[in-house]
Structure formats: structure tokens, C-alpha cells
Amino acid sequence: MELVFNILDKFLVIMMFLILGRALLSWFDPRGSTPVGRFLFEATEPILAPIRSVMPRMGLLDLTPMVAFFLIIFLRQLLDRAVA
């Protein structure tokens, strides 16, 4: 069972880095027209889209990645408590 928790934890860490990469790259490639931008969009959109659908828009500022970060951190803490 601990192996499953470790794999899930690694997946969540990877998703955090992908979301961070997408947020940073959006400053330089907002349309995701580069191969890296398309990969980051396709990898993170299944997580960000549901959050974006329930969050109100804040003008041009998209807070969805930050909310996703907080949710991932919360999930990782739950996993740590479940393993301990």
C-alpha cells in the first residue's frame, strides 16, 4: 500500500512542476504555440479546467494554477498522514 502512496505522491510533485512550468511559460508563450507549451497545456489542462470552471474570473489574472498548487499540497499532506 505504501508503494501506491509513493507513486501518487511522485505524480503530484510532477504535476506541481508541470503547472509551475505552464504558468511561467504563459508569460512568454500565452497561446501555447511551441511544442513545450502544447505539452504543458495537454498535461495540466485536465487538472486546471475543472478548477477554472468553478472559479470566478479575476480579469486577466488566472489564479487557477495557484488554487491547483494549494489542492495538491493538501492532497500530499493527506497522503503523508495516511502513510504515517
pLDDT tens sequence across 46-62: 999 999 999 988 888 88
- What proportion of the chain, given as a percentage, has pLDDT over 70? 100
Q: What is the mean pLDDT of residues 55-71?
A: 91
Q: With bands split at pLDDT 50, 70 and 90, how would you rate the model's confidence at 70? A: very high
How many angstroms separate the CA atoms of 30 and 46, rounded? 18
Q: Looking at 7-78, which runs of residues are DSSP E strands?
A: none
Using alpha carbons, list the distances in angstroms from residue 23 to 38, 56, 82, 83: 13, 18, 30, 31
Q: With bands split at pLDDT 50, 70 and 90, how would you rate the model's confidence at 11? A: very high
